[in-house]
Every structure is written in C-alpha cells, then in structure tokens.
C-alpha cells in the first residue's frame, strides 16, 4: 500500500519518469541489492531521460517536418558534391546558435528537402526549436493573416524559432505582397535566428526572381539571406532513382 501511495504522489507531481523507474525497481529483485544512493541515482537518471525524450517529441511535433531525415543516413555519393567534413560541422548546429543562415540549392530530386529536415531533426535533438514551411504555402498563409489581423502575431511566431526552414524557394511566382512579407519574415530573424532555404534556383538567379521590378527590395532580401550564409550546392541525378535503399528519396 505504501508503494502505491508513493506512485500516486509521484504521478500527481508529474514525475512520470521517476514513477516508472520506481515501479521497475519494485519488480526487479536485483535492484534491491543496490545501495540507497545507487537506486536513487537511477531514479533521477530515468526522470531526466523521460523529460528529455518528452521535450524532443514536442519539438519534433511542433517542427512539422515534411521528411523524417536523419544525418546518419546521408548518402555521400561522389557526384552529389557533399563533403563529410562540412556536414559534420553543420551537424554541431553552432551556426544556428550564432544566427547564421544556410542556403541549399540543387536540381529537383537531389535531396534538398530531406537534407534540410535531417539538419532540423538534429537541431531538435540538441534542444533547439525548429519550424518547417514550404515557402509558397507560408506566403499564402501570411496573405490571409493580413485580412484577419493576425499578421503581426504570425511574424512574431516565425521570429521565435531557432531555425526556420523555408522549402521550395523559387518554385512558384511571387507577387509584390509576397516579396514584402518575405522581407518582413527575414528581417525579424536577421542577426538573431537562423534560416535554412532550399531552392532549385542557383543563388546567382535569386535577385532576378525576387526583384519583380523592385531591385531595392531584392537587394535588401539578398543582403539579409546571403551575407555570411553557409552554402550547400547539391549535384548529381535524382535520389528518387534509388528507391528501396536507405537513402534520401525526396527533393
């Protein structure tokens, strides 16, 4: 009865990991031979692990990744142009903590989205907050936000994420409002938060895509996105041709 009362109190205090560890020790005779300090240390470790796993699940759910990529599964085919040393450096996520951007370009099917999500997944595992958006859909949402009065709130939400992933940059035409909204999003993050952009367009074609007759706005956007940014230029054929293997399959 005393054990059940203890378990009830632990659950009420939301110490679920510690409660599970306590139950495991009660059911495991070998644990009874451990000292009090050893058993208590194991309980604390289990509570900490439980909290870390729960936080990770919250971060992954909030990120809404399009792909379930993992850096351990990267296919380093020579023709892709991916360097292990560069990826190992990016995997440390120091660039995110420093507020630097990452621009990822390459033909369709070369794994940009998958790789971006893999880096985002890694950031979540290090306790960083990540938000994934396809840029065309995000701009549609922001256009609606202008109408219902929630635009400023949406900007503030986008500004808070440690890493914002903007997928499919350049895949759809962008009107003047979209360009202005994108500038607002990037402006809120510049110098403080990181933005990862994936695009089929080479970076040297971004100015033409963004200008739309307003080269000043395009200059402002490029300055904020490109200045000091890390770059990955994926090459080679489509990874979709390698279906059935443990590699990236998406764009």
Please give the domain boundaries of the chain with CATH numbers for all domains: 2-62 (no CATH), 65-242 (3.40.50.300)
Q: Give CA 14 to chain center in angstroms.
A: 28
Q: CA torsion sign, 171 to 194 to 87 to 85? A: positive
Token pair, residue 214, equals 């307003």
Give the number of other CB atoms < 10 A from CB of residue 241.
9
CA distance 99 to 190: 7
Q: Which residues face 194 on adjacent strands?
A: 163
What is d(CA 235, CA 13) in angstroms, rounded to the nearest whole number?
A: 53
What pLDDT score was predicted for residue 175? 93
What is each CA distance from 41 to 11, 22, 24, 32, 114, in whole angstroms? 19, 11, 14, 14, 39
Whether residue 106 contacts residue 200, with contact meaning beta carbons closer than 8 Å, is answered with: yes
Mean per-residue pLDDT of the chain: 87
Are 158 and 187 in contact by the 8 Å Cβ rule? The answer is no
pLDDT at 181: 96
What digits encode the pLDDT tens for the residues 3-52? 777 667 667 767 776 667 666 766 777 777 777 776 677 677 777 777 77
**Is it the case that residue 114 has pLDDT exceeding 80?**
yes
**pLDDT score of 136:** 96
């Amino acid at each position: 009865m005393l054990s059940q009362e203890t378990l009830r109190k632990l659950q009420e205090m939301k110490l679920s990991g510690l409660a599970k560890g306590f139950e495991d020790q009660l059911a495991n005779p070998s644990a009874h031979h451990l000292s009090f300090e050893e058993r208590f240390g194991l309980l604390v470790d289990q509570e900490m692990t439980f909290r870390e796993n729960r936080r990770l699940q919250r971060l992954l759910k909030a990120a809404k990744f399009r792909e379930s990529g993992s850096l351990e599964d990267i296919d380093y085919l020579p023709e892709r142009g991916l360097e292990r040393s560069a990826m190992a450096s990016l995997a440390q996520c120091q660039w995110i903590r420093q507020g630097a951007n990452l621009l990822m370009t390459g033909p369709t099917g070369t794994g940009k989205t998958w790789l971006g999500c893999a880096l985002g997944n890694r950031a979540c595992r290090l306790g960083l907050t990540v938000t994934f958006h396809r840029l065309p859909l995000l701009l549609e949402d922001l256009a609606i936000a202008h109408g219902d009065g929630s635009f400023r709130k949406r900007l503030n939400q986008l500004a808070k994420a440690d890493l914002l992933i903007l997928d499919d940059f350049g895949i759809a035409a962008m009107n003047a409002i979209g360009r202005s909204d994108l500038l607002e999003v990037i402006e809120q993050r510049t110098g403080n938060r990181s933005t990862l952009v994936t695009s089929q367009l080479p970076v040297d074609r971004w100015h033409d895509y963004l200008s739309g007759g307003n080269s000043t706005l395009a200059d402002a956007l490029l300055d904020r996105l490109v200045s000091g940014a890390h770059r990955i230029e994926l090459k080679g054929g489509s990874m979709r041709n390698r279906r059935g293997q443990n590699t990236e399959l998406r764009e």
